[in-house]
A and B are shown apart, each in its own frame.
Chain A
Amino acid sequence: KQEVTQIPAALSVPEGENLVLNCSFTDSAIYNLQWFRQDPGKGLTSLLLIQSSQREQTSGRLNASLDKSSGRSTLYIAASQPGDSATYLCAVLNYGGATNKLIFGTGTLLAVQP
């Protein structure tokens, strides 16, 4: 059974710092991995999608990497800003699953201090 873990559960950094969020998964037979951002009481916004054949994806100050063999993904945020404060969730989509179910980690709550 696929399990997704995100460490740390919470992170506080000063503005301008570069940071890395971690996501690990137990079953490497994934279709893709997606990083989301969730603001308090709000929906999920898709940040980056990495297909299983890809190693990384970039969007602005965000860079996500995927190492399927080790069951890990990282989300790198460069030059963090207070507006980056949110919960970051990773989710994997398994191969062959008839449900096409995203399996989520429990998230990392990021606070960027001005």
Chain B
Amino acid sequence: EVQLVESGGGLVQPGRSLRLSCAASGFTFDDYAMHWVRQAPGKGLEWVSGISWNSGSIGYADSVKGRFTISRDNAKNSLYLQMNSLRAEDTALYYCAKDLGYGGNEVWEYFDYWGQGTLVTVSS
């Protein structure tokens, strides 16, 4: 059974940093691209970032480019999102999602499994 478990969310002041983690199990992690998707309270879904199986292709939404960094550790079956210079508008539930494919050349497939999310609140 595929499981994606996010952690690392919490309350943080504007301008500070936070690192999210996603622990994956139930599939061969290093065969697939992975993504972060967020959902602000009461709002829709927003793709944040994606990373290919070997970290060779990485993409970011314009809203986070230059502030967020996605990474993965295939030996630990884990995905990460380093979030710097956080803003109030980054407040959201952050989901980890598995891509159907490997993400070569930054060509992504649809997301077939999702975690339950970790809540990030940016407020003073």
Partners in one complex: no
- Residues of chain A at the chain B interface (Cβ within 8 Å): none
